[in-house]
Amino acid sequence: MRMSKGVEAALHCCVVMHWLDGRPVTSAQLAEFFALPPAYLQKTLRALVSDGVAHAARGQAGGFTLARAAESISLMDVVSAVEGREAAFQCEEIRLDGRSGTLGSRSGPCAIAHAMHRAELTYRRALMAESVADVADQTGSGVRDRTVAALV
């Protein structure tokens, strides 16, 4: 399964927001820090806000912050905000079309769809088990300290 670059950007931004401990950071600051196009990152951050992962405040002291504790934001929350919640595999039931439809039973679930959905459930559970705080904690304190210093 391939995820968009927006997922990577969103996860990095969430880690940075966690490290900033409630201090707002602008999309322009984050775009410059990660060398990303500002409009692209703004769209990604808006997806996080729309899904309740981040909060946006306007004004001179405004910017983005996490909407809740990083320990309660799973990697799946971020992936869902950016990519959506639709299943990755969409069974079109092609086994029932054409000549293949005459070869087997038309009843019962498609074994391929069942296997793909099991695999997706496994990957979603793994992403739900990891939080933004977990990932942030795996990064060295030196990186955290230099990042915070660069953005405040």
pLDDT in tens, 92-144: 887 777 666 566 656 667 888 899 999 999 999 999 999 999 999 998 888 98
SS3 state at 65: strand
Phi and psi, residue 64, nearest 5°: -110, 140
Domains of the chain: 5-85+131-151 (1.10.10.10)
**pLDDT tens-digit profile of 25-64?**
999 999 999 999 999 999 999 999 999 999 999 988 889 9
pTM of the model: 0.86
CA distances from 108 to 46, 73, 111 (A): 42, 37, 9
